[in-house]
Amino acid sequence: MELQYLGTAAAEGWPALFCDCRICRHARETGGKELRTRTQSLVDGKILIDFPPDTYAHALGYSLQLGKIKHLLVTHSHMDHFFPVELIHRHEHFGHHAEGMLHVYGNEAVEEAFYGAVLIDRFRVHPLDEAVKFVRLKPFGDFMADGYHIIPVPADHDKREQCFIYIIEKDGKCILYGHDTGMALSREAWDCIFSHKYGLVSLDATMGKKQTDGYHMGLPDGIAFVKLLEAQGCLQEDTVKVINHFSHNGEMTHQQLEEFAETHGMKAAFDGMKVAF
C-alpha cells in the first residue's frame, strides 16, 4: 500500500494566509518543505482522503488525473477538509471523460455542505446525478470501496458534527488515518482501533509542542497515542508512524518537527511525501 500526502497544513495554511508570525515568515523565506497546503491524502492513487480548497493546486502539482478517482473519504465538514463547490467540475460539461461515478463518503454535515454547494440555482443546469454521488456514513458502518475495507471511526473533534478518522485495509495491510482528532475518543472507538494491526499510523499534530485536552493533538499526545497502540499489540516492528496536519500555532518549523519525529521513530509529513509499506 502507498499513501501520498498531497497537503499537510491545518485550515489556515502554512504560511497562514494573513499571518506574519516567526514560523510563517521563516516558511516564506525558506520555501521547500517549509511550505504546506491544506491536508489531503491519496491511497494507492485510488482513494482520495478529504477535498480541501487546495485540491486544484494538488492536481496541478502532482499531475493527478482526478477524473479517474471514484472514491473520496471526507473526515468532516471543516473547509480545510471539504470545499464541495469544486465538485461541480466533475460534470461532463467541465470534466470530459471523468470515469464513472465519484462516491463522496461523509457525515451529515458533509452531506449538507455538499448539497448546499452543488444544488444552488447557478449549477442546476449541470446536475451531478451521473458524476458524483453522496454516501452518508454511520459510526463504525464499514464498507468496501474498490477492494478496500473502510471503517469510519468517531473522532474527538468538533462536537457539532460526527467527525471521522478512518481505518483502511487491503490485502492484509492497514492504515489508521487520524486527522483531525484529539485523544478523548469513546471506549468503542478505542476498541475498534485496538482490534487492528497497522502498517501505517498517521496522527494529528496540529498543536506542535503543546499538549491539548482534545479536538486536536500535539506531539506529546502523538507519543502517548503510539504507546497505547504499542501496548495493545497494534504495531509491527516496521510500522510507519507519521505526524501530520500542522499549524504555525504549534510554534515549530518543519525542520524542528522533522528532528523531533526522528528522535521518536516517526516521520514528519511534508507536501508530496509518499509512504509505502
Residues forming the site for Zn ion (CB under 5 A):
16, 19, 21, 24, 78, 80, 180, 248
- Least distance to Zn ion, CB of residue 262, Å: 24
Q: Which residues contact 251 (CB under 8 A, 6 or more apart)?
A: 22, 23, 208, 209, 210
- Least distance to Zn ion, CB of residue 249, Å: 7
Q: Which is nearer to Zn ion, 80 or 111 (CB)?
A: 80
E-strand spans in 107-208?
A: 132-136, 143-145, 148-154, 164-170, 173-178, 198-204
Among 149, 157, 22, 159, residue whose Cα is nearest residue 80: 157
- Least distance to Zn ion, CB of residue 175, Å: 18
- Least distance to Zn ion, CB of residue 47, Å: 19
Q: What CA–CA distance (Å, rounded) separates 156 from 6? A: 23
Q: Which is nearer to Zn ion, 26 or 103 (CB)?
A: 26
User: Per this entry, what is the length of the chain?
Assistant: 277
- What pairing do the DSSP bridges indicate for beta strands 71-73 and 47-49? parallel
Query: Do 117 and 84 touch, CB atoms closer than 8 A?
Result: yes
Q: Which is nearer to Zn ion, 178 or 199 (CB)?
A: 178
Alpha helices in 37-186 (DSSP H): 55-61, 108-118
- Least distance to Zn ion, CB of residue 189, Å: 17
Q: Which is nearer to Zn ion, 36 or 267 (CB)?
A: 36
Q: Which is nearer to Zn ion, 199 or 218 (CB)?
A: 218
